[in-house]
């Protein structure tokens, strides 16, 4: 014993030194963040430029992010409101998403996260990127998930998947699928949960995201265990724990060890149960989610020690929880009352255990989780037995929980035997039919011939009908294709004819007028006024330029667009600006004139209909496409109501030109907030 103690003492000292080092590092890091945050706050107070002030606020929010002691909550809200004031809605959306996540996963206050989502969603919707929309739906879906509104959570995850696909963001899409699988799993929908989780797994394997693969294995292990496939569940969890330990991923190990402890309890392995709960607690202390998980793990340890005759340890952990009232309410209420009733029962305070057990049953009944309800009923049965109330003990199905596994096993065995009997009966009946058919072979042959004739007749009729429908459909498709090609050919020919007429006007008529002007000027004794001829020359040049810009081939698409913007700026009350950083368009040469025409049409629409004060033209070079965007701050219109405008000749021509070059065109407009036209042209 002395030798053993001598070895343990130095180990304790080493552990104490390590813990002190970790604490010192964490404390120093926190002090450093506090100093940086203080310096930034002073800069923000002195900053006059609103744009710079927003950048500083955003930087401050990132420093204090998820740190309750550094007032992350209030700083993030101030950043969101200021970003909205400056119309920087993507910054507002990004910080809204992070703050909802903070409420959900760090403070355990999903209702506050949901209130935040409802407060800002109407302002942000339709004005932010698809990526930010996806993130917003994921985190608001989590809020619904944590308050047990699973249907709303599933709807939000579906929306997140939709926007992630629009953004072509596989990681976000798979994350939404993963959380959707969690929701199906909690509902007990084995089929949908398994399908959704496996779909997410394929994407994460492709992305080589080990952390998410571990999360999916953890979810599948819970799903299999809950539905009676404990062997399969155990295999999935052990694989997940092994991967998480190699990665030293304490976030995932927290939940993996906790769920392993839950399965240990089912198997009656109480020592392993306590070991895994302590491992879970040790892991979560190395994460930033300690405050969130602490009440859950402490109440779980209190329950475990109460059931293993260690009442003092159980009470010690419960007191830790009760120091903060918030640890006993909301999402923690179920765990708290479970620990309370277990301790009361262990202390033989059966009347108190009865009241606590009834309260706990009320809580789990509202969650609609059958397994938890059954355990709560089994506990009350034990309590009523101790209180010598056999009728109530029977009412709560004392024997039900103990015999549940065997009943399920018997049901499965009987079901298997039943289907096996059906199979054997079907085989025997088939044999008898074959023997009877041999005896009555002639009658059967005649019967089959009649059936065959009917079958052939019906088959021919069906084939004729199918062929007729197919031919009609093919004709309709071909007709639609021809109409589309005819419309596109008209536009192409118009462009060719415009170019030809423009060239004729510039090279022939323009030159002839110039010669006439010179002849009049040279041959007249008096200097005759040639203003009429000059006007005619200018008019010919203008018509030629409108038909086909004669400098287009020399200047190229980008410079032609810039010249067009300058011309609009000179002749309009609207302020036109451009954000064009690309030097060359990198799209096929044949497509450039069509893009130019589309932008001309869009700018004409801004002039005629928008009543805007400003219009911005942006060109962005992406991997496979070039994006052209025309955005105004005019009166806008409701896309769902104003079908006349969308189906106007100008809009139809716009769409036809887009189809010719294989471009995608998207029109977004909100009444009072302006219109955005986005054209994506393939390279």
Integer-rounded Cα radius of gyration of the chain? 37
The pLDDT, as a whole number, for residue 452 is 82
Cβ atoms of 338 and 321 closer than 8 Å:
no
Which of 207, 204, 142 minimizes the C-alpha distance to 218?
A: 204
Two tokens, residue 344: 């009361």
Which of 71, 334, 112, 310 minimizes the C-alpha distance to 321?
A: 334
Q: Average pLDDT, stretch 298-312?
A: 92
Instruction: Specify the range with the lowest mean pLDDT, choosing from 263-277, 352-366, 487-501.
Output: 487-501
The pLDDT, as a whole number, for residue 31 is 76
Residue 270 neighbours by CB distance under 10 Å: 14
Q: How far apart are alpha carbons 549 and 114 in whole angstroms?
A: 55
Domain ranges of the chain: 111-119+128-203, 209-276, 288-396, 405-439, 554-682
* Mean pLDDT over each residue of the chain, to the nearest integer: 81
Same fold, 111-119+128-203 and 288-396: yes
Q: Average pLDDT, stretch 587-610?
A: 89
For residue 8, is pLDDT > 50?
no
111-119+128-203 topology per CATH: 1.25.40
pLDDT band (50, 70, 90) for residue 412: very low
Map residue 657 onto helix, strand or coil.
Answer: helix
pLDDT band (50, 70, 90) for residue 23: very low
pLDDT tens per residue, range 196-216: 988 998 898 899 888 888 888
Q: Average pLDDT, stretch 42-51?
A: 91
Cβ atoms of 74 and 112 closer than 8 Å:
no
pLDDT band (50, 70, 90) for residue 508: low
Strand partners, 614: 575
288-396 topology per CATH: 1.25.40
The pLDDT, as a whole number, for residue 266 is 83
Two tokens, residue 27: 């404390």
DSSP H or E stretch at residue 674:
strand 674-682
Q: How far apart are alpha carbons 499 and 550 in whole angstroms?
A: 8
DSSP summary character for residue 525: S
Cβ atoms of 43 and 72 closer than 8 Å:
no
| Phi, psi (degrees; rounded to nearest 5) at 672 | 85, -10
For residue 354, is pLDDT > 60?
yes
State the distance between the two ends of the chain, measured CA to CA, in whole angstroms: 79
Instruction: Specify the range with the lowest mean pLDDT, choosing from 140-144, 200-204, 273-277.
Output: 200-204
pLDDT above 70 covers a percentage of the chain that reads: 76
Output the pTM of the full model. Answer: 0.46
Which of 146, 143, 198 minimizes the C-alpha distance to 174?
A: 198
Burial class (CB in 10 A: 0-12, 13-18, 19+), 262: middle
pLDDT tens per residue, range 646-671: 666 577 888 888 988 889 999 999 88
The pLDDT, as a whole number, for residue 312 is 93
Q: Average pLDDT, stretch 75-98?
A: 95
pLDDT tens per residue, range 539-569: 766 666 666 666 677 788 899 899 889 988 9
DSSP string, 48-100: --HHHHHHHHHHHHHHHTT-GGGTHHHHHHHHHHHHHHTT-HHHHHHHHHHHH
Q: Average pLDDT, stretch 137-142?
A: 95
Burial class (CB in 10 A: 0-12, 13-18, 19+), 390: exposed
> 3-state SS of the chain: helix, strand, coil percent to 5?
80, 5, 15
Q: How far apart are alpha carbons 538 and 544 in whole angstroms?
A: 10
Can you say whether the dihedral through the CA atoms of 27, 32, 35, 41 is positive or negative? negative
Q: Which CATH number fits domain 554-682: 3.40.605.10, 3.30.390.50, 3.30.565.10, 3.30.70.1560?
A: 3.30.565.10
Q: Average pLDDT, stretch 285-312?
A: 91
Residue 141 neighbours by CB distance under 10 Å: 26
């Amino acid at each position: 014993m002395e030798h053993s103690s001598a070895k343990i003492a130095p180990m304790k000292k080493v552990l104490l030194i390590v813990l002190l080092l970790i604490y010192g590092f964490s404390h120093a890091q926190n002090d450093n963040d506090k100093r940086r945050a203080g310096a930034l706050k002073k800069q923000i107070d002195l900053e006059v430029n609103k744009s710079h002030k927003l950048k500083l606020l955003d930087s401050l929010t990132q420093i204090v992010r998820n740190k309750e002691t550094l007032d992350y909550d209030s700083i993030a809200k101030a950043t969101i409101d200021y970003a909205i004031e400056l119309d920087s809605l993507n910054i507002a959306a990004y910080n809204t998403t992070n703050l909802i996540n903070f409420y959900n996963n760090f403070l355990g206050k999903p209702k506050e996260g949901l209130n935040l989502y409802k407060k800002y969603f109407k302002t942000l919707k339709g004005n932010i990127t698809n990526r930010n929309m996806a993130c917003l739906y994921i985190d608001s879906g989590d809020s619904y998930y944590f308050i047990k509104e699973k249907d709303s959570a599933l709807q939000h995850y579906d929306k997140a998947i939709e926007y992630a696909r629009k953004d072509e963001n596989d990681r976000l899409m798979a994350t939404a699928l993963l959380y959707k699988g969690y929701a199906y799993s909690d509902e007990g929908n084995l089929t949908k949960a398994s399908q959704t989780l496996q779909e997410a797994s394929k994407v994460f394997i492709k992305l080589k995201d080990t952390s998410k693969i571990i999360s999916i294995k953890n979810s599948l292990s819970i799903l299999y265990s809950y539905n009676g496939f404990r062997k399969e569940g155990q295999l999935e969890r052990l694989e997940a724990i092994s991967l998480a330990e190699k990665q030293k991923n304490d976030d995932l190990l927290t939940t993996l060890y906790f769920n392993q402890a839950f399965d240990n309890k089912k198997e009656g392995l109480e020592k392993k149960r306590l070991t895994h709960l302590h491992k879970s607690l040790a892991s979560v202390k190395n994460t930033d989610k300690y405050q969130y998980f602490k009440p859950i793990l402490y109440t779980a340890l209190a329950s475990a020690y109460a059931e293993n005759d260690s009442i003092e340890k159980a009470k010690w952990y419960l007191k830790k929880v009760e120091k903060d009232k918030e640890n006993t309410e909301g999402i923690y209420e179920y765990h708290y009352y479970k620990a309370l009733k277990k301790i009361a029962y262990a202390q033989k305070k059966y009347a108190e255990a009865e009241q606590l057990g009834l309260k706990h049953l009320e809580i789990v009944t509202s969650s609609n989780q059958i397994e938890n309800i059954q355990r709560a009923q089994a506990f009350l049965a034990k309590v009523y037995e101790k209180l010598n109330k056999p009728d109530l003990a029977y009412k709560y199905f004392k024997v039900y929980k103990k015999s549940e596994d065997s009943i399920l096993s018997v049901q499965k065995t009987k079901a298997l035997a039943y289907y096996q009997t059906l199979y054997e009966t079907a085989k025997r009946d088939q044999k008898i039919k074959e023997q009877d058919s041999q005896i009555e072979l002639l009658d059967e042959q005649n019967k089959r011939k009649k059936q065959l004739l009917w079958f052939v007749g019906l088959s021919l009729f069906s084939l004729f009908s199918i062929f007729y429908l197919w031919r009609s459909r093919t004709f309709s498709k071909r007709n639609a294709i021809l109409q589309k090609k005819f419309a596109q050919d008209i536009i192409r020919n118009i462009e060719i004819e415009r170019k030809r007429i423009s060239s004729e006007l510039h090279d022939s008529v323009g030159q002839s007028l110039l010669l006439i002007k010179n002849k009049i000027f040279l041959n007249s004794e008096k200097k005759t006024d040639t203003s009429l001829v000059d006007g005619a020359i200018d008019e010919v040049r203008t018509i030629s330029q409108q038909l086909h810009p004669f400098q287009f081939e020399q200047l190229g698409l980008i410079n032609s667009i810039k010249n067009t913007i300058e011309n609009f700026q000179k002749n309009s009350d609207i302020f036109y600006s451009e954000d064009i950083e690309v030097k060359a368009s990198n799209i096929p040469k044949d497509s450039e004139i069509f893009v130019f025409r589309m932008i001309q049409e869009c700018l004409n629409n801004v002039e005629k209909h928008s009543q805007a004060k400003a219009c911005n033209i942006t060109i962005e070079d992406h991997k496979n496409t070039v994006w052209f965007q025309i955005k105004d701050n005019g009166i806008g219109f409701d896309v769902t109501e104003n079908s006349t405008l969308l189906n106007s000749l100008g809009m139809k021509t716009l769409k036809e030109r887009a189809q010719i070059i294989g471009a995608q065109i998207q029109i977004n407009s909100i009444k009072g907030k302006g219109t955005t036209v986005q054209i994506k042209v393939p390279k």
